[in-house]
Chain A
Amino acid sequence: MWPARPLMAAYILRRLVGAALVMLAVATLVFFMIRLVPGDPIAAMLADSGSPEAREAMISRLGLDQPVIVQFWKWFTSMLQGDLGASIYGNNQPVTKILAEALPRTMSLAFISFVIALLIAVPAGILSATRKNTATDTVVSLFAFLGLSMPDFWLAILLIIVFAANLQWLPAIGYVPLSEGFWPWLSHLILPSIAIGTGFSAIIARMIRSSMLEVMQADYMRTAASKGLTMRVQMLRHAFPNALIPVVTVIGIAFALLISGAVVVENVFAIKGLGRVLIQGIQNRDYPVVQGAVLVVSAFFVLANLAVDLLYAVIDPRIRYS
């Protein structure tokens, strides 16, 4: 069932091509669909100042007066050359620039959220697996469930009230790039990452727990026990790494959750990451920005799922032990 090594390269290639096709399809779909959304971005931009001449000038400058197919062709061909157009809003920033600035923010947020999630989940998962059905297990599971059930924006608000407004330990909003110092960067990311990471950690913890339990009963564990290794070594050398496999599949879901979670949390903490750029783009009817952001988000998604599939194929123990 699993691809043998020599065919691995062909498999990877096929998946990559498939991924690229999906992304192109998504991009095309969104180009037309965003134009389905009612509302006139030009009217909004020129609401107070601006004469009919200014409106005409702006429309032609932004190329919005041409037939949709022509606009699509222009956008498509430019995109293939790496040019995603420019925001039709105020400053006409190039979309690549907007995304290039938003991406590190979402990535930083995702990274720290992931770290926090693991910091909570790994010990929790192992603990509750090894102490299954004891009080510890119950307590840990309960916390996991609570984390899973809490709306991320709710947690975000509570964190702001307690840590930013009342205790004033951490800043309430904003983002500082890493280049300006490690602590400024980190301090702005802690609260939002806790908000996103908590729910995520719950999922991981439960996965670790259930897959460890499975693994601890599996055949190859008994094999290792028969080799005379102690419980602890068994755990660390065999159970845990094998238990990680299903966790890897979760990474695919992780990006979905992180980006969806990021959308709302970025909103609460006023961090201009991918999620926020996308939502604002939709609200402003800023077509090029939405198209570009959709492309990037879907790229992540597709690549993440691809990576998961490949990793799965690589580290499945049945391959190793055969």
Chain B
Amino acid sequence: MDDKDLMKKAEAELRDAYDYDPRDPLYGLNKNDLRGTKVSRRTTLRLLAAGGALSMAQLLPGLRATPAMAAGHSGGELNCAWAGVGEITTLDPAQIGQVLQFQIASNVYSGLMHIDSSLVAQGDLAESWEVSEDGLEYTIKLREGVTFHNGDAFNADDVEFTFNRSSDPDQSLHSRVIANVAELQKLNDFEVKFVLKQPQASFLTKALERSSGRAMTIVSRGGLETLGLAQYGLTPIGTGPYMVTDHTLGQAVVLEKFANYYDPERPKIDKITIQPVDGVEPLAAAIEAGDIQYIGGNPVPTQLVSRFEENPNLAVDIKPGPGFQSVWINPWHPAMTVSDFNKPVEELKMEPGFMVRLAIAKALDRDLFITQGRFGYGVPAHGTINPAMGFFFDETLAETSEQAFDPEGAKALMAAAGYPDGAGFPDLKLQTTPNTKRDGQVVANILKVVLGITVIVDPKDFSIGIEEFNKMDIDLRLGGSGGDYDPDDGLVDWMQTTSKFNGPDRDTATKPFGFWSEAESDAAIDEQSVTADPAARRELVQKANAITSNKVACGFLYHPVDVLVHATSVIVPEDARIPGLHELDRISLA
């Protein structure tokens, strides 16, 4: 099926997914759809849509005809490297804060539900379930005969234990995920009932999900007692396809096939070693020498990608990445002051502070940045809405935005603001992390060449940098976000006046708002968050996105790509390719 058909099918599915009355607590589904041992694709899409978590990136893989892949054999050993990290700090879901950690944890634990790559929400430890008419009660029948890695039997007590643990902010970082649960009832040894305070579309698909959900990832009471909290985070005990047989902090995590996993078909590979590799050369050396055959964890350094692509023993799979990076500009800096973003753009363009702000954004030669900074791997960004968000992404923005690269225009603006060729303009400090220092140098150079201003790159340890960012003690900062699959992830988290990253610790007397505050886009973002109809939602999203772009909420730079590298001897079927995750129990060796 070619791209156009694909898109048509996708849009049809989307339309159907959003085709319900928002006041309906069951979102246009009937009880039977929500009961059973499987949630059909159509139903899952509906639930995701209602929960505001549906994205193109999740939709497309299930529609593509996957080429027939030679099936691998069962057994064998796999060596993996987790890139860009020195140690796997913790595998305790209550403490997990990094994507690379739950990439591993997702293979060691089970949740009640698990969404696979074709968007069928499979029951994981939930065998079947029922939802009440008012959408408030979820009765779940648990799978029997499941054991933990230490031999303990799994039953409803474990669900209760996990729930209580996760609800306590002292014990878990993720208590918010289940904040909507009024109570959890144990009906019998293998049946529980969640009673919600309000209908929640994403309950089955997000809150109970095993990987990113984390709140209801089932932990082992016995394991915690025997090992103690600290050791449990290193060598956890779960019910998942793999058990952790060895892990010293800073050394490799060794996973071995759990013989008593409830699904006899999985996992395929017997033993998987995950070595954290912090450094570019060692990573390249290791995979090229064949010491490792699979790379997970943080993104593969872009300078290595073309080299891996040319290597006949390696397979490289590139997908659009869900995220954005930009240059944040402090609107309270004396030379760049913008005290009111609500004025129309034409009026703003007459203020020197905004002129400078726009000049900086216009001077960003994004293509050059991607070539020089990212070795060609990336997509220019003009807003937080990224290509992985499918049809929400606005391709025309690259041309229509005020921020589009325009060196002449940028220079003219600087001159009009009173700084022809940057003369007399104060030096600016561009804060980066040690890892993004190089990107910062490319940006600083671009700004120097186009505008003639001096930008000093200021790499800071994250612990210092984040303090300064939250207090707004900076001029410019290079930063952004990843893992954004839904417009909410970009817009709500970053672009609203009340966003959690919008200068929360600033001195509100001298700085009434953070980095950006605009009423019209605030309203549009609020509305799109609860809008069901995809077409209407897209309009609102793109409207808000355009405002943030034209009025320079920040200088948007690029969208990264998602690169998977593995040896050709490793077979990674499409259903193991869930964005952001590594379904190790589905991959096999040739």
Contact = CB atoms under 8 A, between A and B. Distances in A.
Direct A/B contact, Cβ within 8 angstroms:
yes
Contact of B249 (A39, A91, A165): A91
Interface string B162-191: 000000011001111000000000000000
Nearest to B470: A43
B282 A44 contact: no
Contacts, number: 112
B230 interface: yes
B463 interface: yes
Given A91-B90, A174-B275, A98 B466 contact: no
B285 A165 contact: yes
A40 B467 contact: yes
A90 B95 contact: yes
Contacts of B466: 40, 43-44, 47
Contacts of A91: 89-90, 92, 95, 230, 233-234, 249
A1 to B, nearest CB: 48
Contact of B281 (A45, A51, A160): A160
A160 B285 contact: yes
B87 A272 contact: yes
A32 B463 CA distance: 19
B279 interface: yes
Interface residues of B, number: 41
Contact of B170 (A39, A61, A160, A172): A61
A54 B284 contact: no
B101 to A, nearest CB: 9
A171 B170 contact: no
A301 interface: no
Given A43-B470, A44-B466, A94 B284 contact: no
A101 interface: yes
A43 B249 contact: no
B385 to A, nearest CB: 20
> What range describes how many residues of A lie at the interface?
35 or more
A93 interface: yes
A171 B284 CA distance: 12
A168 B169 contact: no
A270 interface: yes
B286 interface: yes
Interface in A73-118: 86, 89-94, 97-98, 101
A270 B81 CA distance: 13
Given A45-B97, A90-B89, 15 more contacts: A39-B463, A40-B463, A44-B463, A46-B97, A50-B173, A54-B173, A61-B170, A89-B89, A90-B90, A91-B230, A93-B230, A93-B249, A160-B285, A270-B277, A270-B278
20 contacts: A39-B464, A40-B463, A43-B466, A45-B97, A47-B462, A49-B97, A50-B173, A53-B169, A57-B170, A91-B230, A92-B230, A92-B233, A160-B281, A165-B288, A171-B291, A172-B281, A172-B282, A172-B289, A174-B252, A268-B279
